[in-house]
Structure 1
Amino acid sequence: MFATPFRDSLTIQTRVIAALFMREIITRFGRHNIGFLWLFVEPMTFTLGIAALWYITRSTHGHHVPIVEFALTGYSTVLLWRNCATRCVGGLTPNLSLLFHRNVKPVDVFLARILLEVAGATCSFYVLTLVFYV
């Protein structure tokens, strides 16, 4: 099969985003200790804290859905969107030197940061869902 210019460009952009993704992991979490695990633990602690507070105070939300499940699904999603926006706000400043490369665009920096946040929040949600299910 012959390579097309679009396929070549897509391959290059995928490699650029993957490299920025790995760079973001290393610069944000480092290479030592708990580092990368913090990507999953941070959303878990926030979600568990909110669920515990609502459960302890016996708060109601005007529906028949149990409060822990409501907090898990609702707060995980809110945390995901909040973190994506917050990480993108200051995304270009530490990566300005990378923009001198022809293939690195500002949208690639944003996509790498968003993908990292989505991966962390999704993994956190699945682990908490599994724990509460068991």
Structure 2
Amino acid sequence: MELIRQHARVTAALMIREMSTRYGGKPGGYLWALFDPVAHVVMLTLIFQTIARLPALGTSFPLFFATGYLPFHCYQTMQSFVSGTIKSNKALLSYPMVTPADAVSSRYLLQASTSFLIVIIVMNVVALESDLTLHIDLASAAGACFLATLLGLGVGLSNIALFARFPIYEQIFGVVMRPLMLLSGVLFLPHLIPHPFDDVLLFNPVVHAIILFRKGVYPEYWAQGLDLNYLYTFTAISVFVGLSLFTFSARAMREG
């Protein structure tokens, strides 16, 4: 019990430190965290409104792109933030009370809460701007965001260990991930892609998180291609593999 209390105290202290270093030194603080998703939604809306009369779903371009980009943002920012945990907290790991697990926990909790806050704010802004009344299925929408953060956590944990052992992997991973937004269904509905490319896209678990989120926002959306069992299984395996690699590498992280 004492170890749990110590872990909670250290994690809380690290969260405060992360908030201070990540947002405290920038004008506007948390407003900077909103800039990326808002900028992407606005940019995509301006581009596609010039080439299409209606989005692939519904009548609002901002809403369509927000429902695609926000769950993707939950995954991408979590994966990136967790992957950099050890590099950013190297000096603190020299203290016996601070463990790599504390650093990861603080980053996950901070980024998850930030991502959920961003989703709530952006969705409300889009609804007001488009004069829409949304009937959101909170279970589907919140579940999609939560699963996206867990998936990001699993990938991030694996990356911590693999980046430390194989420096070239970090470069390869960065290159491979660049087109991920285009391959995750942010800009389109996967079932509208010609066969067999639609089936190939569905191997990407982020696609299923986005479909689930859109299903929670659009009551009329049939969510073709959504496989919840695949999303749950892939996320669970990702977290398990990430935790295993992270645990086996914990001592090397502290000593390296």
TM-score, normalized by the shorter chain, greater than 0.5: yes
Query: RMSD value over aligned CA atoms?
Result: 2.5
Instruction: Report if the CA contact (8 A) 2:82-2:104 is conserved.
Output: yes
- Identify the match of residue 79 of structure 2 among 81, 85, 92: 85
**What are the residue-to-residue correspondences of 1:111-126 with 2, within 5 Å?**
111-126=105-120
- Identify the match of residue 11 of structure 1 among 2, 5, 19: 5
Instruction: Report if the CA contact (8 A) 2:18-2:107 is conserved.
Output: yes
Q: CA deviation at 1:27?
A: 1.5
Give, as a single letter, the amino acid of the residue that structure 2 aligns with 1:99: L
Percent identity between matched residues is 23
Query: Could you say which residue in structure 2 is the equivalent of 1:97?
Result: 91
Query: Could you say which residue in structure 1 is the equivalent of 2:65?
Result: 71
Whole-angstrom distance in 1 between the partners of 2:57 and 2:33? 32
Deviates more, 1:118-127 or 1:45-54: 45-54
Q: CA deviation at 1:81?
A: 0.7
Give, as a single letter, the amino acid of the residue that structure 1 aligns with 2:8: T
Whole-angstrom distance in 2 between the partners of 1:101 and 1:45? 40
**SS state of the match for residue 109, structure 2?**
helix
Q: CA deviation at 1:35?
A: 2.7
The alpha-carbon distance between structure 1 residues 118 and 45, as it changes in their structure 2 partners (threshold 3 A), is: farther
**5+ residue gaps in structure 1?**
none
TM-score using structure 2 length: 0.43
Whole-angstrom distance in 1 between the partners of 2:74 and 2:126? 20
Whole-angstrom distance in 2 between the partners of 1:49 and 1:118? 25
Q: CA deviation at 1:124?
A: 1.8
Q: CA deviation at 1:32?
A: 5.3
Asked if 1:38 is matched to 2:32, the reply is yes
Whole-angstrom distance in 1 between the partners of 2:37 and 2:112? 11
Q: CA deviation at 1:126?
A: 1.0
**5+ residue gaps in structure 2?**
129-256
Q: CA deviation at 1:59?
A: 7.7
Q: With CA pairs under 8 Å and 6+ residues apart, which has the higher RCO, 1 or 2?
A: 1
The alpha-carbon distance between structure 1 residues 44 and 121, as it changes in their structure 2 partners (threshold 3 A), is: farther
The alpha-carbon distance between structure 1 residues 44 and 14, as it changes in their structure 2 partners (threshold 3 A), is: farther
**SS state of the match for residue 102, structure 1?**
coil
Deviations 1:57-97 (A, max 9, x none): 32877x54444323112211111211111122222112112
**SS state of the match for residue 18, structure 2?**
helix
Instruction: Report if the CA contact (8 A) 1:25-1:36 is conserved.
Output: no
User: How many pairs align?
Assistant: 127
The alpha-carbon distance between structure 1 residues 10 and 29, as it changes in their structure 2 partners (threshold 3 A), is: same
Q: CA deviation at 1:23?
A: 0.9
Instruction: Report if the CA contact (8 A) 1:51-1:72 is conserved.
Output: no
TM-score using structure 1 length: 0.75
Instruction: Report if the CA contact (8 A) 1:16-1:104 is conserved.
Output: yes
